[in-house]
Amino acid sequence: MRIVVLVSGTGSNLQAVLDAVAEGTLDVDIAAVGADRPGTLGVQRAAEAGYPTFVVNFRDYAVRSEWNAALTEKVASYSPDIVLSSGFMRIVDEHFINTFEGRYLNTHPALLPSFPGAHGVRDALAYGVKVTGCTVHIADAGVDTGPILAQAAVEVLEDDTEESLHERIKVQERRLLIETLDRISTRGLPAL
Per-residue pLDDT at 87? 85
Contact yes or no for 85/109 (Cβ under 8 A): no
The tens digit of pLDDT for each residue in 163-187 reads: 999 999 999 999 999 999 999 999 9
Contact yes or no for 40/119 (Cβ under 8 A): no
Distance of CA 93 to the CA centre of its chain: 16
Q: Model pTM?
A: 0.94
Per-residue pLDDT at 113? 97
7, 40, 192 from 11: Cα distances, Å: 6, 8, 29
pLDDT at 141 over 90: no
The tens digit of pLDDT for each residue in 93-109 reads: 999 999 999 999 999 99
Q: How far apart are CA 120 and CA 66, in angstroms?
A: 29
pLDDT at 191 over 80: no
The catalytic residues are 108
Packing angle, helices 12-23 and 41-48, rounded to 10: 10
Per-residue pLDDT at 190? 81
